[in-house]
Amino acid sequence: MLPPFELRRPVSLAAAVDLVATGGTPYCGGTELLAVMRLGLASPETLVDLKRVPELVGITAAHGEIRLGARVTHREAAASDAVRTHAAILAAGAGLLGNVRVRATGTLAGNVCFAEPRSDILTALLALDASVDLRSADGARSVPIEDFVEGAFTTVRADEELLEAIRVPARSGPSAYVRFAPAEHPTVTVAVVATGDGCRVVVGAVGERPELFTFPGTGDVDPTAIAERVDITEDLNGHEDYKRHLTAVFVGRALEQMGVADA
């Protein structure tokens, strides 16, 4: 049973920002928020529904980056030509997470703000060096994903800020996304992106938040070293030694998928 709440449905970004500034909780797909409300873990007084805000719609590719509005669902992202071409691992993660209903309803922005430690989206976005645009009544700021997520379920977003868009640098180099999910939430996710100036490896799901490891090139990636260094949280998906082992295995498999020899 959901607790009682006011539901406001602004039709402009300005109105939405005002409502959030005065204590409203941003709400769009609800796949995460309604779940925690149902469990009694949150009981916001006012939900600000973003589904009628035109400024938050759509995926655009321009100026070497892809912009995903706050209303973009996982399914839209997974099916988007722009995302598939320039941020293939994001499309992969968005197409695999949860289930078909969650992907049709849930948004990337909501996922990012929720900061669930096992988020496929966060793993992919961190590897892609994405950033988020936050807007409040006082102004706007852009924060790299790396700085945005502080830990499990915590971000630097202030209560009066609205996540307006996610921006992802467009890349066409080799990349890979692998996940091991014998349970509902993945046990480990690995994203690898080869950029012009190095290789970004992100390990997700094993700890409180996805963790970034950078190397000069794909040939320099050392799965064992990553597995030794990554922060682990034990849970029903596995103990520490198992998760470290899986980390090495799946970093290796991601490199294999990219065609990196000797992985």
Question: Both ends of the chain: CA-CA distance in Å?
Answer: 49
**In the complex with another protein, which residue's Cβ is closer, 77 or 128?**
77
Please report, as residue ranges, which positions from 154 to 193 form the binding site for another protein (by CB under 8 A). Answer: 180, 182-185, 187
Exactly one of 139, 172, 197, 236 binds another protein (CB under 8 A); that residue is 236
Alpha carbons 188 and 197: distance in angstroms, whole number = 26
How many residues at the interface with another protein, by CB under 8 A? 37
Applying CB under 8 A, the span of 110-118, 164-172, 200-208, 237-245 interacting with another protein comes to 237-245
Q: With contact defined as beta carbons under 8 Å apart, do 134 and 142 qualify?
A: yes
Pairing of strands 131-136, 175-180: unpaired
Question: CA-CA-CA-CA torsion for 68, 72, 76, 78, nearest 10 degrees?
Answer: 60
**In the complex with another protein, which residue's Cβ is closer, 146 or 256?**
256
The upper half-sphere exposure of residue 183, i.e. CA atoms within 13 Å in the direction of its Cβ, equals: 10
Min dist CB 199 to another protein, Å, is 23
Pairing of strands 175-180, 46-49: unpaired
**In the complex with another protein, which residue's Cβ is closer, 55 or 256?**
256
Three-class DSSP category at 12: coil
Exactly one of 15, 25, 30, 208 binds another protein (CB under 8 A); that residue is 30
Surface-to-core class of residue 166, CB atoms within 10 Å of its CB (0-12 exposed, 13-18 middle, 19+ buried):
buried
Applying CB under 8 A, the span of 96-104, 113-121, 195-203, 223-231 interacting with another protein comes to 96-104
x/- letters, 43..62, toward another protein (CB under 8 A)? ----x-x-x-----------
Three-class DSSP category at 208: coil
196 binds another protein (CB under 8 A): no
262 binds another protein (CB under 8 A): no
114 binds another protein (CB under 8 A): no
Alpha carbons 20 and 163: distance in angstroms, whole number = 11
5 binds another protein (CB under 8 A): yes
36 binds another protein (CB under 8 A): no
Q: Could you tell me the sign of the dihedral formed by the alpha carbons of 133, 106, 115, 43, in that order?
A: positive
153 binds another protein (CB under 8 A): no
Name residues whose C-beta falls within 8 Å of residue 141's C-beta, 6 or more positions apart in sequence: 133, 134
Exactly one of 15, 34, 143, 263 binds another protein (CB under 8 A); that residue is 34
**In the complex with another protein, which residue's Cβ is closer, 106 or 210?**
106
Site residues for another protein per CB under 8 A: 1-7, 30-31, 34-35, 38, 47, 49, 51, 75, 98-102, 104-105, 180, 182-185, 187, 236-239, 242, 245-246, 249
